[in-house]
Chain A
Amino acid sequence: MADEPAAKPDLKVVSNKDPAAIFDDLATLRKESKLTVKRKTVLVNVPVEKPPNNVHFRTHPTLKLENATVIKDKNGTSDVWYFIVPAMRGHPKLAPRLRPVTIMLACLWPGNGFLLWPVPERTSFKAWKSEKNAADLAQTIWMSMVWNEERSDFDVEKAEEIDIEPIWPKESFEELLKIGFADVIVDNEDHYFVRRLRGIID
């Protein structure tokens, strides 16, 4: 093979044909994409709870509702947080059960989930104080919070190495509150929660 002289390949120098002219002709073949199907994702659920003990969290420094009042109740094994409007705070069945809170928007890691966290405003219990401190610290650093049975308090810890910033939901805080507390806003005497506390069987 090496002894055979290599045949001169049939190669041509570049001609002067203008590529732009060829593209004019080809460009007409492009089919414009027409997407007639448009999906729309709707946010239907915003959890209201404190962050679980297996995640780290950040809280939004400005998106929060201070001086709110809630009542924590049970629905089976899960917690339900009723939002008590200011006009109902003096109701005799609600007043002793009220918790003054700041409702904060929290972002979770991993998974970039988010939730509305009723952070206690009172610090008379040390666990509430810890919870409030954790929420405040989480405005700038990733935190975690785990219940310590022996101390009857939360262990609050900083994440060792999460170096990314939280991604906040696109919806407004008002929209998130509406979705999170849908059906559990206690704003009148006839609300089923008030009726239940009064012992009225429907």
Chain B
Amino acid sequence: MHAREEHSGATISLWSDELLRLTHAPFDTGPDSVMVAFASNAELQCFLALGWPFPTNVLDPYVENIVAINGNTAVWPPPDEKGRKGRPGLLDALKLHDLPARSQEHKDRMRDMILKNENYTPEQRREIQDYNEEDDDDTIALLGALPINDINHALFHGRYMAAVAREERVGLPVYSEYLLDELAPNWDAIRLHYIQRDDEFHLYDGVNFVEERLWDLIRAKGWDWPRTPTGRYQLKIATIGRQATRYPELKSLARLRDQIAELRINKLVNTIGADGFSRCPLLPFWTITGRNQPSARDKMFLPGLPKWLHGELKPPRDMALVELDFVAEEPCIVAGLSGDPAMIADYQNGDVHWLFAVRAGLAAPDAAVDHRIRDLCKPVCHGMNYGITPYGIAAKTKKSLDWAREMQARHRYVYSVFHQWRGDVVAQAHFDGVITSPFGWRLIVTANTKTRTLMNFLAQAGGGDVMRLVSIVATECGITIAAPVHDAFWILAPLDDLDTTIARMSEIMTEAGRLVAGIPIRVKVEAVVRWPQCLGDVRKPDAKGQAMWCEVRELVRNGGLQKVSNA
């Protein structure tokens, strides 16, 4: 560890054996000090590992640099790396602010040297200390260059990074014996089983997809197919999924590729620790709306995998794993922020999609919910947040363009206050050159900012605000969050304290929703998994992915799988 106290100029340099002897950080972490660290969730995880109390105040130049450039496409991604994903690292951030930066190669070499060794030679120790000192200097130089106008919000971001550190350290408990001893070793055989069953067009050779066969099929069928900039057919899973809505013959192929054939189980296995928990970096503030985007090289976030694999979730001994979801979080946020009385009433009275159907005249007010009609209205209601066109509505509902136009007109009519507000928000954003969420997450608005991005910003960034508030309050209250997942939380609770913990978490989520939207966002308990069961044991038979979970387990445990040659 290397730290510097700015007010005294004192440096603190300690090696792991010295750190392990300490019960708290070797610098002031009280309310009159602030700890500055770049991507502080990593440092704070060390605090957790060492059992040190967290600093009261954290200021993270990684986050504040994102705040300074978020949405400014003229500076990020860099003009010569337009395809670059993610957020700027320390060296990138220094360059963005015209500060001198070391080479990436030097940083990579030092990081490798530190991580790959446990004992260091005197020469290596000196090099590491120099490297750490440079890192401190760079972080402080960057902080000085950042335009932090609102210290309270900057500290709020730091507080969230502390919550992220806690969440990343917990991770999701999984049924690791099944995953590592049964599923992963049989993975190719499982894939082969489904490929042989569902590959109607014989596009696979064993477990390998043969692109040329799909090209031939596209040409033979005369399908209109999107291409890459270099003229090749796009073969992404999402592309095939979209094409399957146009050409239903492709549905089984889309399902096969999405659910199993192209899934690399090793990316999940790589996340499993010795304690049977799956941990993946949450990557806070990675999206322009300030939300997390969990991923890592060669790792996959379990909730991002197909639903059937969520059956793997299994709490440790004497614990329960609980999923709490916000109910219609985004509709509630836009209803509350816009102040549309009809939209607020519909949210408070129940199912927003069905109540729109009633207002639109598609159903009588006293009629029982007709799921066919409700499901048609759902994409209309969701789409209106981002300005869906009648073409988009028609594509999603498979209804005519006339019907789609009518629904769009009716939505505008019944929620006229919302539509006026949405237009005003977009106009204001263009006028100000910036748009800001209720809790201060801002997006710089340029000529390149899409109108749809602005239309949807407050729903998404407001949702990010809610998730941050819940993460902070719940973790500071001692609730163990295993993972935040878009508009839901997986939490762990001791079995003998389960009801109290669920009640407290629900209360926190509802209150956080109210703070952002102005009206409480409802919360429901989506799943409760008690040790020794896994989610796959308790999920309802008709739940999404459950049938496949049972089918795969049956295949693995009762034979029926062929050996796969790796030749």
Are chains A and B native binding partners rather than an unrelated pairing?
A: yes
Q: How far is the CA of A23 from the CA of B520 in the complex (A)?
A: 14
Q: A11-B170, A30-B516 are in contact. List 12 more A-B contacts (CB 8 A).
A: A1-B180, A7-B275, A9-B170, A9-B275, A12-B478, A13-B494, A29-B156, A35-B421, A36-B428, A109-B406, A112-B410, A163-B362
- Tell me, in angstroms, the Cα distance from A39 to B431 when the chains sit together: 12
Smallest beta-carbon distance A198→chain B, Å: 44
Task: For A26, give the chain B residue with the smallest CB separation.
Answer: B469
Q: Which residues of A contact B276 (CB under 8 A)?
A: 6
B319 contact from A11, A18, A167, Cβ within 8 A: A11
Q: How far is the CA of A122 from the CA of B63 in the complex (A)?
A: 75
Contact A19 B173 (CB under 8 A): no
In chain A, positions 148-169 with a C-beta closer than 8 Å to chain B are: 163-165, 167
A22 contacts partner chain B, Cβ-Cβ < 8 Å: yes
Instruction: Please tell me if the beta carbons of A112 and B406 are within 8 angstroms of each other in the complex.
Output: yes
- Our pick among B361, B420, B493 for the contact of A164 (Cβ within 8 Å) is B361
Task: Annotate A21-32 by CB proximity to B: 1 below 8 A, 0 otherwise.
Answer: 011001111110
- Determine the distance from Cα of A39 to Cα of B508 in the docked complex, in whole angstroms: 37
**B residues within 8 A CB of A171?**
none
Are B405 and A29 touching (Cβ within 8 A)?
no
Q: How far is the CA of A11 from the CA of B480 in the complex (A)?
A: 7
Q: Is the CB of A22 within 8 A of B405?
A: no
Provide the residues of chain B in CB contact with A20, threshold 8 Å: 511
Tell whether, in the assembled complex, residue A35 and residue B424 are in contact, meaning their CB atoms are under 8 Å apart.
Answer: yes
Chain A, 177-193, CB within 8 A of any chain B CB: none
A15–B424 contact, CB under 8 A?
no
Partner of A10, one of B169, B337, B474: B169
Q: Which of B68-76, B240-248, B342-350, B499-507 is the interface stretch?
A: B499-507
In the complex, the answer to whether B511 meets A19 with C-beta atoms within 8 Å is: yes
Closest residue of chain A to B476 (Cβ to Cβ) is A22
What's the least CB distance linking B198 to chain A, in Å? Answer: 31
B402 beta carbon closer than 8 Å to chain A: yes
Residues on B with C-beta less than 8 A from A8 are 275, 316-317
Given A7-B274, A163-B362, are A39 and B427 also a contact pair (CB < 8 Å)?
Answer: yes
Which residue of A6, A29, A38 contacts B439 across the interface (Cβ within 8 Å)? A29
Q: Does B472 contact A (CB under 8 A)?
A: yes
The reply to whether A29 and B440 contact each other, CB–CB distance below 8 Å, is yes
Q: How many A-B residue pairs have CB under 8 A?
A: 136
A199 CB–B CB distance under 8 Å: no
- Name the A residues within 8 Å of B317 (CB-CB): 8
Please provide the 5 A-B residue pairs with the shortest distance between their CB atoms, ordered closest to farther.
Answer: A15-B478, A110-B402, A112-B409, A164-B361, A7-B275
Chain B residues, CB < 8 A from A11: 170, 316, 319, 480, 492, 494
Q: A42 near B: Cβ within 8 Å?
A: no
Whether B438 and A164, one on each chain, are in contact in the complex, defined by CB atoms closer than 8 angstroms, is no
Interface residues of A (CB under 8 A from B): 1-2, 4, 6-15, 17-20, 22-23, 26-31, 33, 35-39, 109-112, 163-165, 167
Q: Does B19 contact A (CB under 8 A)?
A: no
Whether the Cβ atoms of A164 and B406 lie closer than 8 Å is yes
- By beta carbon, the residue of chain A nearest B182 is A2
B423 in contact (CB, < 8 A): yes
Return chain B residues, CB-CB under 8 Å to A33.
337, 438
Across the interface, A2 reaches (CB within 8 A) one of B156, B177, B405, B469, namely B177
Q: Would B508 and A17 count as touching, CB distance under 8 A?
A: no
By a CB distance below 8 angstroms, the chain B residues around A17 are: 476-478
Q: Give chain B residues whose Cβ lies under 8 Å from the Cβ of A13.
A: 478, 494, 497
A interface footprint on B327-353 (CB within 8 Å = 1, 0 otherwise): 000000000010000000000000000
> In the complex the two chains form, what is the Cα distance from A109 to B173 in whole Å?
55
B 387-414 to A, binary, CB cutoff 8 A, 1 in contact else 0: 0000000000000001101100110011
Chain B residues within 8 Å of A28, by CB? 152
Q: Is B91 an interface residue (CB 8 A)?
A: no
Interface presence of B360 (CB below 8 A) = yes
**Nearest CB on B from A166, distance (A):** 8
Checking B423, B439, B472 against A39 with a beta-carbon cut-off of 8 angstroms, the contacting residue is B423
Q: Given that A9-B275, A37-B431 are contacting pairs, would A26 and B472 also be in contact in the complex, using a CB cutoff of 8 Å?
A: yes
Complex contact B153–A111 (CB within 8 A)? no
Q: Are A6 and B319 also in contact (CB < 8 A) when A14-B500, A14-B501, A26-B473 are?
A: no
Contact B405 A14 (CB under 8 A): no
Out of B272, B403, B473, B480, name the residue touching A22 (CB < 8 Å): B473
- The answer to whether A165 and B156 have CB atoms under 8 Å apart is no
Q: Are B440 and A31 in contact (CB under 8 A)?
A: yes
Chain B hits for A167, CB < 8 A: 361, 409-410, 413-414
Asked if B105 is at the interface (CB within 8 A of a chain A CB), the reply is no
B181 within 8 A of A: yes
Measured in the bound complex, the distance between the Cα atoms of B421 and A201 in whole Å is 51
> From residue B559, how far is it (CB to closest CB) to chain A in Å?
20
| B369 in contact (CB, < 8 A) | no
Distance between Cα atoms of A12 and B428 in the complex (Å): 46
Given contacts A7-B274, A30-B439, A112-B406, contact A22 B424 (CB under 8 A): no
Contacts of B148 in A (CB 8 A): none
Chain A residues with Cβ below 8 Å from B477 are: 14-15, 17-19, 22
- Complex contact A6–B275 (CB within 8 A): yes
Scoring A27, A29, A35 by chain B CB atoms within 10 A of each residue's CB, the highest score goes to A29
24 CB-based A-B contacts, threshold 8 Å: A2-B181, A6-B275, A11-B480, A13-B497, A14-B479, A19-B504, A19-B507, A19-B508, A22-B476, A26-B472, A26-B515, A27-B515, A28-B152, A31-B438, A31-B440, A35-B425, A109-B402, A109-B406, A112-B405, A112-B413, A163-B361, A164-B360, A164-B362, A167-B414
A23: B residues at CB distance < 8 A: 469, 473, 511-512, 515
Question: Per-residue CB proximity of B10-43 to A under 8 Å, as 1/0?
Answer: 0000000000000000000000000000000000
CB distance from B502 to the nearest CB of A (A): 10
Chain B residues 98 to 143 lying within 8 A of chain A, measured CB to CB, are none
Tell me whether B176 is interfacial, beta carbon within 8 Å. Answer: yes
* A79 to B471 CA separation, bound complex (whole angstroms): 65
